[in-house]
């Protein structure tokens, strides 16, 4: 299982698919109060933007601020240099560097 340190916690990285087939990344707190529980969804689905199968967009604002750096530091993703502006925020297109095993 891939792990990432974010906000002082060691979290498991889980992959799933959005309804349009794109990859979603969720961080799971395995030591939650009632057992394993989702900590945050690190990705964002932007249907109007192009995205290859082993890529996704990262939500690195609001309550997720810093999640992109944590995922890069853990070797889970790498930045592609592509940025998509959506509403009042911008999202980086990232390549997923680890095998994508769906839950």
CB atoms within 10 A of CB 64: 18
Mean of all residue pLDDT scores within the chain: 95
* Integer Cα distance of 40 and 52 in angstroms: 23
pLDDT digits (tens, 9 = 90+) for 10-27: 999 999 999 999 999 999
Query: What is residue 103's predicted lDDT score, i.e. its pLDDT?
Result: 67
Q: Which of 52, 54, 53, 51 is closest to 86 using CA atoms?
A: 51
Residue 96 token pair? 């997923």
Residues 12 and 30 sit within 8 Å (Cβ to Cβ): yes
Question: What digits encode the pLDDT tens for the residues 41-54?
Answer: 999 999 999 999 99
What span, in angstroms and rounded, lies between the C-alpha atoms of 64 and 42?
7
What pLDDT band is residue 33 in, cutting at 50, 70 and 90?
confident
Could you tell me the pLDDT band of residue 32, with boundaries at 50, 70 and 90?
confident
What span, in angstroms and rounded, lies between the C-alpha atoms of 59 and 62?
9
């Amino acid at each position: 299982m891939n792990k990432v340190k974010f906000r002082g916690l060691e979290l498991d990285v889980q992959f799933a698919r959005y309804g349009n087939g794109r990859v979603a990344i969720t961080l799971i707190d395995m030591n939650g109060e009632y057992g394993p529980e989702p900590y945050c969804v690190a990705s964002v689905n932007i249907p109007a933007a192009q995205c290859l199968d082993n890529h996704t967009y990262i939500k690195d604002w609001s309550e997720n601020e810093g999640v992109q750096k944590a995922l890069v530091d853990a070797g889970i993703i790498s930045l592609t240099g592509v940025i998509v502006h959506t509403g009042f925020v911008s999202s980086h297109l990232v390549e997923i560097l680890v095998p994508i095993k769906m839950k």
